[in-house]
Chains A and B, each alone.
Chain A
Amino acid sequence: MHGSSHLLNWILWMPFIGVLGNLIIPSKKANAIRWWSLINTAITFILTLVLYKQFDTSVAGMQEAFNFSIPWIKQFNIFYTVGVDGISLPMILLTGLLFFICILSSWTVEKSVKGYFALFLFLQGSVMGVFLSLDFFLFYVFWEVMLIPMFFLIGIWGGENREYAAVKFFLYTFFGSILMLVGMVALYYAKGKGVDAFNILALSGGHFTDLKLSMFGTEFSFSKLFFVFMFIGFAIKVPVFPFHTWLPHAHVQAPTAVSVILAGVLLKMGTYGFLRIAYPIFPAASVHFADCIAWLGLINVIYGAFCAMAQTDVKKLVAYSSVSHMGFVMLGLAAMTIQGMNGAVLQMFNHGTSTAMMFLLIGILYERSHHRWIVRPDGSKGFGGLYTQLPKFSIVFIIAMFASMGLPGLSGFISEALIFLGIYEKYTTITVLALLGLLLGAAYLLWMFKRMFFGDVIEECKSYTDMNKREIAYMLPLCVAVIVFGIYPSPILNIMKASVGKLVTLLGTY
């Protein structure tokens, strides 16, 4: 298992090097900290691109060339194992890109610059760790570590109600991961404590299908019980209804860049967990619970959309739209067909870019307006005529919005279409109802757009300035990604399809 390439190690630890650098630079030199962070994330991003370049798309599963493994804790056979396959690579690319962009968008942060950027890079490192880990223990550690910077980033730099949001986010996720921890340890013993007992790859493949365990005099299927544990752990992150209520709070209160990361990357960690852990390790149980996942996904789609439509805070609206869109990913996961699963992974990537755009744009707007009301509580308009006042901003917003609602030609469409193609045969009723979500998705976004952008420029908006060069610079890569992958998704699909296909084949045997 000991690979020769250190590329993944560099990708994983580069952000932490950045953290150390930020700690060393004196806090008075705010600009030095910013530039250092920017360079650091840029290097990480370039490294991910190098990884993309060297990636062999024909290989299903882990790419041996990049694997790196050394023993960590001998007593438990815990290893430090990192690796990359077609499912994690899109996420790694997304992480690399979004963090780079977010550093740029955080340029205007003035409060405790040093702490902010250090925590931000720390967050990047831990997110990378989640996507790169192949050892379950390592995965879990990064999964949890990620909470700490998030907690502070929301809690210190967030909005008015930030403390509540931060605590809620932390507790919710922590609760889920505790269940995951129990499942992880149970797997370790079920696997016989051997050298591969924490190795995700070695655990995968349905070794536990027939295992039974008895509690309270009843027999439980081991795999079903612990699939449910894992499910809750990941579902909270996704978030799947009814575990979603942390998300609106966290999104709304978090500072812009953190919202972007939260929606763009962190939510994907949940679905990534399904693809990396819950599905391969418990294929039989996954198939058994597919109906349940599909229905929950459907509820997410519809419920998220309904709730989004009722929001008067634009950020909250987009937050609920994330709930709705992640529902599509869940639907794709429930399909367990090659189209559906590829669609789900692609949707993870595409939602990452489009929602990131939405949140960045809302952040840009917030910097000018210092509020986010579509309609204020007193019934007056929060924004009006932004189209006239901020033309560049509006165009980018239109791109983001239509990408988000799945307009063909923009990235969201292909993934949603694939998901629907994947799910239709198995769950016709759910498909029909989920299409309603597509409709509602257009409705709440357009309604929001109409209320904010059309009509006369209201007095308050007249002082807003259009996007500056820095803002355009960081929106541009996302715009390009959204359009290019909308027309030509193969670059992303090619890297994932073998790995996804392998997983689907595995699931197909149950």
Chain B
Amino acid sequence: MGLNYLVSLGHYVPELIVCITMFSLILIEAAHDKDATSKPLIGLTSFIGLISAFVILVLNLSKPGLSIFTNSIVIDSFGTFAKIIMVLGTLGAIYIAEQSSDIYQKLKSEFSIMAMGVLVGGMLLTSANNMLLLYIGLETLSILSYVMATLKKNNERSGEAGLKYSLYGGISAGIMLFGMSHVFGVLGTINFSEMATMIPNLTSDQMLILIPSFLLFFVGLGYKIACVPFHMWSPDVYEGSPIPVTAFFAIVPKIAGMAVIARLTMLLFNNDSLLSVSWIGALSVMAALTMTVGNISAIGQRSVKRMLAYSSIGHAGVMLLGIVVVSEIGLRSLLFYAFTYLFMTLVAFYIVSFVNDTYGNDHFDRFSGLIYKHPIMTISMIIVMFSLAGIPPLSGFVAKFNIFSAVVAKKYYVLAIIAGINSVISLYYYMKIIRLMVFKTSESENMILGLTLRNQLIIGALTVPVVTLGVFWEKIIGVAEQATLLIQ
């Protein structure tokens, strides 16, 4: 049974810090409305808040897990690791937003505020142990995301993205709730740990209702991680949203969704009941589909951002494989994957953001001949692209290798091969950017705007983990290995 509220709060510091940061940001923004002086202050505040959350999370990493708030929230190292990734992702996204001109200057503080909100939602989602908190977390995440998608005011595409996102989110949440209601009806509880004790011994009648219900339940989660066939919104939304928002979407909600699916799967479906088999079966089919559809769709794209959106769908499929195997290795691989994916995505979107700022769009052609203009940036981009495709010795490869090993350990060879072939397909479109950047000559003389030394350094610094994690990954995989779930 959980701890009482005050004691619980002591274990809930990172979330609280983020909440406080968000409120402070609101206050600062309110106090300095339409005043440029707010910008550094806002940046500083978010930075401090996130870093302190990060530090506390890192410190918590080695602590034993426990459930708080009357067993409705679970604090364990798995969740903490996921939260670390999300915090870092938010930090990166906020930094990109600061630099990008895709978001109006006035709205940058709003971006930070809402990113904090989404982060809180994501953190809640990650550690939710009952359906209510899961729902609340998901909606916190979603509702703020809708707004973030429309952050580019007066832009039709941005508006449309928000509209689509909100409508799609609405229907998925509704379907999920409908599924939840039946789960609640059958099992009589909304608490996952309590459900876990019941699931191995269900009657067949109960099973008959529960299987569809959990499927309905999955819709809400599947939509969040954009897994096929609930991915339809994501390319449109990613394309319509401003680039920092897209980068943010590609990391935080996705990882939160992954974490919660992983938690649910490990908790509820780590047994041999028909329900678990159906869930795992459905999940593996979706994983395979997600990879394939994501990667194949990415090929034909003109916009790099949209390509990255599809590729993130593909990566979601690969990450799902880490869940499908329902094992410690799977979780470890998932976390490692997410961790490397964070850096790769940030660098990629960061660079795309600069290109977009300079040329007004991010079509592939805009990347031609960049190597001759901005070698450091281009080399970073090349490294990231190869890493995303999974070429050794880069971290993307190691991540994929981990997932592979988890899949092969379970003897799911077919899934492994599908993942492998997808890796080849993904290489094709990642290579397209590299080809343009390196083999082609530039169509214009314009240099990329805003690539100050500091930004180049940031890009370089973000690329360093992409390389080093590919060679010296022992430590990180060790940490990921330690990151276990409290209850399984």
Physical contact A–B (CB less than 8 Å): yes
Residues of B within 8 A of A148 (CB): 386, 391
Report chain B residues within 8 Å CB of A189: 405, 408-409
Q: With A170-B427, A175-B424 in contact, is A186–B408 under 8 Å at CB?
A: yes
In the complex the two chains form, what is the Cα distance from A162 to B401 in whole Å?
30
Q: A141-B393, A167-B431, A186-B413 are in contact. Are A75 and B439 (CB under 8 A)?
A: no
Output the least CB separation between A248 and chain B (Å).
Answer: 20
Q: How far is the CA of A156 from the CA of B423 in the complex (A)?
A: 24
Contact of B438 among A140, A141, A155, A188 (CB under 8 A): A155
B420–A74 CB distance below 8 A:
no
CB neighbours (8 Å) of A74 from chain B are 474, 478
- The verdict on B473 contacting chain A, using a C-beta distance below 8 Å, is yes
Interface 1/0s, chain B 332-370, versus A by CB < 8 A? 000000000000000000000000000000000000000
A493 to chain B, nearest CB (A): 35
Do B474 and A72 have beta carbons less than 8 Å apart?
yes
Judge whether B428 is part of the interface by a CB distance below 8 angstroms.
Answer: yes
Instruction: Please count the residue pairs between chain A and chain B whose beta carbons lie under 8 angstroms apart in the complex.
Output: 88
Whether the Cβ atoms of A181 and B414 lie closer than 8 Å is no
**8 A Cβ contacts from B383-427 to A:** 386, 389, 391-393, 397, 401, 404-405, 408-409, 411, 413-414, 416-417, 420-421, 423-424, 427
User: Given known contacts A148-B386, A181-B404, is B474 in contact with A174 (CB within 8 Å)?
Assistant: no
Tell whether, in the assembled complex, residue A178 and residue B421 are in contact, meaning their CB atoms are under 8 Å apart.
yes
Given contacts A155-B439, A171-B424, contact A73 B474 (CB under 8 A): yes
Question: Which has the most chain B C-beta neighbours within 10 Å: A72, A179, A185?
Answer: A185
With the chains together, A76 CA to B416 CA distance in Å? 18
Interface band, chain A: 20 to 34
Contact with B along A171-206 (1 / 0, CB 8 A): 100110011011001101100000000000000000
Contacts of A156 in B (CB 8 A): 438-439
CB–CB A174/B424 < 8 A? yes
Contact A181 B391 (CB under 8 A): no
Find out whether the CB atom of B431 lies under 8 angstroms from the CB atom of A75: no
Set of chain A residues within 8 Å of B431, measured between Cβ atoms? 151, 167, 170-171
Q: Is A135 located at the chain interface by the 8 A CB criterion? A: no
Among candidates A76, A166, A174, residue contacting B405 with C-beta atoms closer than 8 Å: A76
Residues of A with C-beta under 8 A to B477: 73, 75
B435 CB–A CB distance under 8 Å: yes
Closest chain B residue to A152, Cβ basis: B438
Contact of A182 among B404, B427, B438, B478 (CB under 8 A): B404
- Contact check, B420 vs A145: say whether CB atoms are below 8 A apart: no
CA distance A151 to B423 in the complex (A): 17
Distance in angstroms from A171 CB to nearest chain B CB is 6
Cα–Cα distance between A207 and B392 once the two chains are bound (Å): 28
Q: For chain A, residues 44 to 98, give those with C-beta under 8 angstroms from any C-beta of chain B.
A: 72-76
Contact A163 B435 (CB under 8 A): yes
Q: Judge whether A185 and B473 touch: CB under 8 Å.
A: no
User: Knowing A182-B420, A186-B413, A189-B408 touch, does A145 contact B439 (C-beta < 8 A)?
Assistant: no
Could you say which interface size class chain B belongs to?
20 to 34
Residue of A nearest to B423 (CB): A178
Q: Which of the residues A75, A145, A167, A186 comes within 8 Å of B474, measured between beta carbons?
A: A75
Chain B residues near A182: list those with CB within 8 A: 404, 408, 413, 416-417, 420
Query: How distant is the Cα of A81 from the Cα of B404 in the complex, in angstroms?
Result: 22
Q: How far is the CB of B332 from chain A (nearest CB, A)?
A: 8
The answer to the question of A1 belonging to the interface, with a C-beta cut-off of 8 Å to chain B, is no
**A215 on the interface (CB 8 Å rule)?**
yes
Is B481 positioned at the interface, with any CB of A under 8 Å from its CB? Answer: yes
Partner of A147, one of B391, B417, B434: B391
Bound-state CA distance A162–B435 (Å) is 10
Q: Give the complex CA separation of A181 and B411 in angstroms.
A: 14
Q: Which residue on A lies nearest to B412, using beta carbons? A: A215
- Expressed in whole angstroms, the Cα–Cα distance for A167 and B438 within the complex equals 13
Is A144 close to B, CB under 8 A? yes
Pair B435/A155 contact, Cβ less than 8 Å: yes
> With a CB–CB cut-off of 8 A, which chain B residues contact A188?
405, 408
Q: How far is the CB of B86 from chain A (nearest CB, A)?
A: 24
A215 touches B413 (CB 8 A): yes
Query: In the docked arrangement, what's the CA distance between A145 and B397, Å?
Result: 11
- Inter-chain contact B414/A215, CB cutoff 8 Å: yes
Main secondary structure of the interface of B (DSSP, over half): helix
Q: How distant is A75 from chain B, measured CB to nearest CB, in Å?
A: 5
| A502 to B478 Cα, complex, angstroms | 39
A20 at the interface (CB under 8 A from B): no
Question: Does any Cβ of B come within 8 Å of A436's Cβ?
Answer: no
Binary contact readout A217-245 vs B (1 if CB under 8 angstroms, 0 otherwise): 00000000100000000000000000000
* Across-interface contacts of B411 in A (CB, < 8 A): 213, 215
**CA A75 – CA B473 in complex, angstroms?**
10
A174 to B409, CA, bound (A): 22
The distance in angstroms between the C-alpha atoms of A76 and B476, with both chains bound, is: 13
Q: Check if B424 sits within 8 Å of A178, measured CB to CB.
A: yes
Contacting residues, chain B, for A178 (C-beta < 8 A): 417, 420-421, 423-424
Q: Is the CB of B421 within 8 A of A145?
A: no
- Pairwise interchain contact B405-A185, C-beta atoms closer than 8 A: yes
Q: How far is the CB of B132 from chain A (nearest CB, A)?
A: 37
In the bound complex, CA of A74 to CA of B479 (Å): 13
- Do the beta carbons of A75 and B404 come within 8 Å of each other? no
Most chain B beta-carbon contacts within 10 A, residue among A151, A189, A225 = A151
Q: Give CA–CA (A185, B412) in the complex, Å.
A: 12
In whole angstroms, how far apart are the Cα atoms of A253 and B401 in the complex?
32
Complex-state Cα separation, A182 to B404, whole angstroms: 7
A167 near B420 (CB under 8 angstroms)? no
Chain B, 461-479, CB within 8 A of any chain A CB? 473-474, 477-478
Residues of A within 8 A of B473 (CB): 73
Q: Which of A147-163 contact B (CB under 8 A)?
A: 147-148, 151-152, 155-156, 162-163
Question: Closest approach, in angstroms, between the C-beta of B482 and any C-beta of chain A?
Answer: 11
- Distance in angstroms from A418 CB to nearest chain B CB is 36
Specify which chain B residues have a CB less than 8 angstroms from the CB of A167 in the assembled complex: 428, 431, 435
Query: Do the beta carbons of B424 and A75 come within 8 Å of each other?
Result: no
Instruction: Identify which of B393, B401, B413, B416 contacts A145 (C-beta below 8 A).
Output: B393
Task: Known A75-B474, A156-B438, A181-B420; judge A174-B392 contact (CB<8 A).
Answer: no
Chain B residue at smallest Cβ distance from A147: B391
Is there an interface contact between A174 and B417, defined as CB atoms closer than 8 Å?
A: no
Contact yes or no, A179 B397, CB < 8 A: no
How far apart are the CA atoms of A152 and B420 in the complex, in Å? 23
8 Å CB contacts to A: which residues of B431-460? 431, 434-435, 438-439
Residue interface mask A108-149, B partner, CB < 8 A = 1: 000000000000000000000000000000001100110110
Contacts A72-B474, A155-B438, A215-B413 hold; do A179 and B420 have CB atoms under 8 A apart? yes
User: Taking the nearest CB of chain B, how far is it from the CB of A222, in angstroms?
Assistant: 10
Name which of A155, A162, A182 has the most chain B CB atoms within 10 A of its CB.
A182
Closest chain A residue to B481, Cβ basis: A75
A225 surroundings in chain B (CB, below 8 A)? 413
> B residues bordering A, Cβ < 8 Å?
386, 389, 391-393, 397, 401, 404-405, 408-409, 411, 413-414, 416-417, 420-421, 423-424, 427-428, 431, 434-435, 438-439, 473-474, 477-478, 481
Q: Known pairs A141-B392, A182-B416. 18 more at Cβ < 8 A?
A: A75-B478, A144-B391, A151-B431, A151-B434, A155-B435, A163-B439, A170-B431, A174-B389, A174-B424, A174-B427, A178-B417, A178-B421, A178-B423, A182-B417, A185-B405, A185-B409, A186-B408, A188-B408
10 contacts between A and B (CB under 8 A): A76-B405, A144-B397, A148-B386, A156-B438, A163-B439, A170-B427, A171-B431, A182-B404, A188-B408, A215-B411
Across the A-B interface, the 3 shortest Cβ-Cβ residue pairs: A178-B420, A141-B392, A185-B408
